[in-house]
Amino acid sequence: LRPIQPIVMYQPDYHGRLTFTPNTLEIQSRIVDLVRGRKDEPDSVVISWELDIGQTELLKDDRFLREYNIRFVPNESLPQKCNTALGWLKGLSKPQQQNVKDLLFPVVAPMVKPLSHDQMSCDMSGLAGDFRSSDVLKPLNEAQASFVRMIRARTLDPTFESTRPACILTGPAGTGKTKTLIAAIADVLGLREQDKTNKNRILLCAPSHAAADVLTERLTAILRRDEIFRMYSSSRPSTTVSG
């Protein structure tokens, strides 16, 4: 962060006289999170920084209020991870590379046994749990229900000869992606039919701590706490983990 106009301060010169001196205040900061706005709300960026004593006093002084320029310095961690992944792919054999290509960039839809008429329902009203702060019981729209049915069909008709391409759930903020994902998880775990014999397990991954926290909180509406294992990255400070 750097002020568009320099902050002018009184500072003594070599002869001890006070003179106007432009002071460039530059704050090293980092982006903590990008919060997607819901529906018509704008996105917001969460920025964190550490200030020394002089910078703190300047920012507290109302006379030095300024508009700031922001210079974004890219994080090298993501490019390094991408290069590592590309290096791993380069070391694979040709058949292995083709398998990865078919998995990540499929050109044909996987063959799945179609659902019967009785298996088409996506009614979640039979779920047990505390839903006072959850929207999981609200009816799914047709696009959301179609995704749940696709997950159900793939679960009921597993393949062991090859790995099927991933299912992609996408859409703008506020369109119910998390709600649909929670409904699909409940369906796979047999919670909709209260199936006590269901032994399915799910590994749920997220790209950030905040996203994983939201998913964990939403899952507590349909699962007991002893049925959820929240794994934290070793790089996450323990002070940021909620009780």
- Amino acid 218 reads R
What is the per-residue pLDDT for 2? 58
Q: What is the mean pLDDT of residues 104-115?
A: 84
Q: What is the pLDDT of residues 51-102, one digit of tens each?
A: 777 767 766 766 666 666 666 677 777 788 889 999 999 999 998 998 888 8
Virtual torsion, Cα 80, 81, 85, 88, nearest 10 deg: 70
* The pLDDT value given to residue 170: 87
Mean pLDDT of 144-163: 87
Q: What pLDDT score was predicted for residue 130?
A: 57
Name the least confident of 13-22, 157-166, 198-207, 226-235.
13-22
Alpha helices in 47-141 (DSSP H): 53-60, 77-90, 94-104
Q: Is the pLDDT of residue 128 over 70?
A: no
Q: Which residue has the higher pLDDT, 3 or 79?
A: 79
Average pLDDT of span 127-135: 57
Distances, alpha carbon 177 to alpha carbons 56, 143, 209, in Å: 41, 10, 18
pLDDT at 105: 85
Question: Residue 108 and residue 97: Cα distance in Å, rounded?
Answer: 17
Non-local (6+) Cβ contacts of 24 within 8 A are: 2, 3, 6, 7
Mean residue pLDDT of the chain comes to 78
pLDDT tier at 200 (50, 70, 90 boundaries)? confident
User: Is the distance from CB of 192 to CB of 186 less than 8 angstroms?
Assistant: yes
Banded pLDDT at 226 (limits 50, 70, 90): confident
Name the percent of the chain lying above pLDDT 90. Answer: 11
Exposure string over 29-57, b if 16+ CB within 10 A, otherwise e:
beeeeeeeeeeeeeeeeeeeeeeeeeeee
Q: Is the pLDDT of residue 236 over 60?
A: yes
The whole-model pTM stands at 0.61
Mean pLDDT of 200-217: 86
The region of weakest confidence among 27-41, 82-96, 206-220 is: 27-41
